Amino acid sequence: MAGKSVIALVKYLHKRWENWCGDHEMELMIRRHLTDNGFFGGTAQLRNVRLVAVKRPGWLQVFRFDATVRVRPAEGACVGVEPAAEYREVFGLVKDDIRHQGNSVRFFEEEQERRELFTLWSEGLICLRGAHGLSVR
Q: Are strands 60-70 and 87-97 parallel, antiparallel or unpaired?
A: antiparallel
User: Looking at the predicted structure, is the pLDDT value of residue 1 above 80?
Assistant: no
Compute the distance between CA of residue 73 and CA of residue 90 in angstroms, rounded to an integer: 17
CA 23, 27, 30, 32 dihedral sign is negative
CA distances from residue 10 to 5, 48, 78, 107 in whole angstroms, order as listed: 9, 18, 45, 31
The confidence band for 129, taking pLDDT boundaries of 50, 70 and 90, is confident
User: Looking at the predicted structure, is the pLDDT value of residue 137 above 60?
Assistant: no
> Which pairs count as long-range contacts for 39-47, CB under 8 Å and 24+ apart, including other chains?
39/69, 39/70, 39/71, 39/72, 39/88, 39/90, 40/69, 40/70, 40/71, 40/72, 41/69, 43/70, 44/68, 44/69, 44/70, 45/19, 45/69, 46/19, 46/21, 47/18, 47/19
Which pTM value belongs to this model?
A: 0.78
